[in-house]
Structure 1
């Protein structure tokens, strides 16, 4: 298998953490790539992902699996199933819902990053950026109130959340999340003890 990914992408980091935790990382060839916003990337969109997004997993038969969650779900299945995503029952829907919230936080953070770093200053939309950052903040507050985050077995939602917090440190170091959400700090400190989280950290900005 090949994983086409950006080393700075929190979505790709989620997949890499999952692959390490599932014992599959040695079966995956890591292929770094970088696509700048506004560039056509025609070959990639035609041959790999029509949405021009990373990461993607290319299987040995040439099949392509898109979306970081779907890739993790595939890896979880071939590792035996039910390891990071429960197969059934209330826990499955709880973890999938938590993952969706974490994914939404990441989406808003990346949009804020692009708004500031890629959009021409004369077109910067402050109200739009503020709205997305408010979603980030309320999403973090939601997880800060969850007492089971530190105690339950590792799952895909926790992996996504550690990628959220890692991306906040990487791209928004002055955001103040560490002062605002002490329970998330404790969660992240514990997650950073895992080799998978350390290894997958983005390179220095």
Structure 2
């Protein structure tokens, strides 16, 4: 299998943690594929017309877009405990946690894009809206993190873990741990998992060398 990949994308990280947790990572060839909202990457568009990562191409030539779709596909390829339960109350709890973490990641990516605009071109209203949404989400997670701890490890855990990891990577000035000790403790435990350690951006960046012919397809300042 081939995965259009980037070391800093939290959505790619979701897929890679899933791949490691399911024992499938060794079957995936990583292709460093820079993408940006305001650019196209022709190498990615051969497989995904949306020019987005992650994009997975199976050995049979099937192509899957979107981290949730890819994660569910990978979860169907192993015989161990499912990261996405097939039925029951736990399934809906896992999907809810995944939606919360992934939705927060969507907001964080857009918030970062707005913050990267030149001074004088940023929307104060937009920045405030993302700040408020992020703060409210973090408070919700803090208040309910004990419930997540009570669930078997799942895609919900992965999404929330990637959310905290992306905050550390791109929002160092936002002290999300302040007043959220339960979340901080949970994330400290999450980070000890081998699947989380080997997908840390600083570690993952060394896995696949940059290809200058592909790198120029996207503007470096807007890479996620």
Q: Which band: TM-score by shorter chain?
A: over 0.9
Partner of 1:188: 187
TM-score if structure 2 supplies the norm length?
0.85
Deviations 1:129-178 (A, max 9, x none): 22122111111111111212233221001101000000001111121111
TM-score if structure 1 supplies the norm length?
0.93
Q: Is the 8 Å Cα contact of residues 81 and 87 (structure 1) preserved in structure 2?
A: no
Matches within 5 A, 1:1-205: 1-42=1-42, 44-45=44-45, 47-80=46-79, 83-117=82-116, 119-146=117-144, 147-203=146-202
Give the deviation of 1:43 after TM superposition. 5.0
Alpha-carbon distance in structure 1 between the residues aligned to 2:181 and 2:93: 23
Give the deviation of 1:81 after TM superposition. 7.1
Higher RCO, 1 or 2 (CA under 8 Å, sep at least 6)? 2
Q: Is the 8 Å Cα contact of residues 33 and 44 (structure 2) preserved in structure 1?
A: no
Q: Is the 8 Å Cα contact of residues 34 and 41 (structure 2) preserved in structure 1?
A: no
Unpaired stretches in structure 2, ≥5 consecutive residues? 206-224
Unpaired stretches in structure 1, ≥5 consecutive residues? none
Q: Is the 8 Å Cα contact of residues 102 and 157 (structure 1) preserved in structure 2?
A: yes
